[in-house]
């Protein structure tokens, strides 16, 4: 377990937020047998826990005691942890603040999963039905089951672990979107599976009907969202022209002859990831100073590549007038005055103005 936790934290520091939930899950496994462990078992478990904690601390020390290659007195991983900003406990109980948190919106509106591409639809009746079905199924089933309370401890604790994990993401200011909210979902899923196991155990005759009905409701609700996800309004940064110019930039000769200068982080990431191997992509945002212009000219001379600029026509924090002033550029691949993503490249006799 220690190695698994270490690998998760090593991959992404936000997995630190899962540690309390994992601790609760471990407690759940201890109590999951239906009886308390014996004294001898407690000793064995205690030794295993101490060994795991020691191993985890030893492994994590390799990460957190590593220094910056530029400053041996700087510990970047420790600084990331200590620099994290949290909401106060008082703010946690201020509904007007909490309702504006991205992770809160993501929990109660599945459409938030598409917020990077689409203008998110406001919550509606289907959203409420979905959230109620997913979040309340465990507590409702546990309350309805007339069984020994000890049997309910396992799903209850796992569900609680999910709630604790969500509160942590709610408190951390840099947690803002669905990909942070979903950190609590593994515990929610495990609690649902644990509850299903209780239903199978104590209501074997009704179990097939309950599971079938639940599956149908789940399928219908999910189908509604997946059908409606692409029907939302597309954000300007994912305008159709983004794919158009990306296709243009796949040209091997263009990629070899030009530096692709991108003045938008998202487009830089997208082009850098999915562009041809021969391309060279430069990111400058904002591009608005003479020193940056001089640096681009130097790179162009040094590597014998002309410059091609990728920008948004609707808004930009770069100085496009300055760029046009110092380079002989022409629009390339523009087919509509409403086209948001555009290309300007240094003139070349080998290429025409149109695509």
Looking at residue 32, its pLDDT comes to: 64
Q: Where are the alpha helices (DSSP H) in the chain?
A: 2-11, 19-31, 39-64, 76-82, 89-92, 95-98, 102-108, 125-144, 153-171, 178-181, 185-202, 207-228, 240-248, 252-257, 265-274, 290-303, 320-326
Q: Coil, strand, or helix at residue 311?
A: strand
What confidence tier does 173 reach under pLDDT thresholds 50, 70, 90? Answer: very high
The strand pair at 280-283 and 258-262 is best described as parallel
Other C-beta atoms closer than 10 Å to the C-beta of 75 total 17
Residue pLDDT, tens place only, 11-63: 999 999 999 999 999 888 877 666 667 788 888 888 988 999 999 999 999 99
Looking at residue 34, its pLDDT comes to: 60
Instruction: Judge whether residue 291 has pLDDT over 80.
Output: yes
Looking at residue 89, its pLDDT comes to: 87
Mean pLDDT in residue range 210-226? 96
Structure tokens at 324: 């046009």
Residue pLDDT, tens place only, 74-104: 999 999 888 889 999 899 899 999 999 999 9
Q: Between residues 318 and 29, which one has the greater pLDDT?
A: 318
Structure tokens at 287: 């591009």
Looking at residue 290, its pLDDT comes to: 95
Euclidean distance between CA atoms 25 and 324, whole angstroms: 60
pTM of the model: 0.81
Residue pLDDT, tens place only, 132-153: 999 999 999 999 999 988 899 9
Q: Coil, strand, or helix at residue 67?
A: coil
Q: Coil, strand, or helix at residue 264?
A: coil
Euclidean distance between CA atoms 169 and 334, whole angstroms: 43
Structure tokens at 313: 């026509």
**Mean pLDDT over the full length of the chain:** 92
Euclidean distance between CA atoms 43 and 56, whole angstroms: 20
Cα-Cα-Cα-Cα torsion 266, 271, 273, 278, nearest 10 degrees, comes to -150
């Amino acid at each position: 377990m220690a190695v698994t936790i270490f690998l998760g934290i090593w991959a992404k520091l936000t997995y630190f937020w899962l540690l309390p939930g994992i601790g609760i899950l471990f407690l759940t496994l201890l109590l999951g047998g239906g009886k308390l462990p014996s004294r001898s078992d407690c000793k064995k478990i205690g030794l295993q826990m101490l060994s795991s904690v020691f191993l985890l601390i030893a492994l994590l020390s390799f990460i957190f005691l590593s220094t910056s290659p530029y400053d041996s007195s700087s510990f970047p991983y420790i600084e990331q942890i200590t620099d994290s900003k949290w909401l106060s406990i008082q703010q946690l109980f201020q509904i007007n603040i909490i309702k504006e948190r991205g992770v809160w919106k993501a929990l109660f509106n599945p459409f938030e999963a598409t917020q990077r591409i689409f203008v998110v639809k406001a919550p509606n009746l289907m959203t409420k039905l979905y959230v109620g079905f997913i979040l309340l199924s465990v507590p409702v089933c546990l309350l309805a089951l007339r069984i020994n309370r000890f049997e309910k401890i396992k799903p209850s604790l796992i569900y609680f672990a999910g709630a604790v994990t969500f509160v942590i993401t709610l408190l951390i200011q840099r947690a803002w979107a669905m990909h942070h909210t979903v950190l609590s979902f593994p515990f929610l899923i495990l609690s649902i599976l644990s509850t299903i196991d209780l239903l199978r155990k104590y209501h074997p005759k009704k179990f097939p009907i309950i599971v079938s009905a639940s599956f149908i409701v789940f399928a219908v609700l999910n189908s509604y969202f997946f059908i409606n996800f692409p029907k939302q309004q597309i954000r300007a940064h994912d305008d159709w022209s983004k794919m158009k110019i990306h296709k243009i930039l796949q040209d091997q000769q263009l990629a070899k002859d030009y530096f692709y200068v991108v003045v938008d982080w998202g487009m830089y990431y997208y082009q850098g990831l999915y562009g041809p191997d021969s391309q060279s992509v430069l990111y400058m945002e904002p591009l608005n100073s003479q020193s940056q212009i001089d640096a681009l000219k130097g790179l162009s001379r040094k590597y014998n590549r002309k410059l091609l600029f990728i920008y948004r026509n609707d808004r930009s924090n770069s100085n496009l007038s300055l760029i046009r002033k110092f380079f002989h550029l022409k629009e390339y691949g523009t087919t509509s005055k409403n086209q948001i993503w555009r290309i300007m490249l240094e003139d070349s006799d080998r290429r025409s103005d149109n695509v």
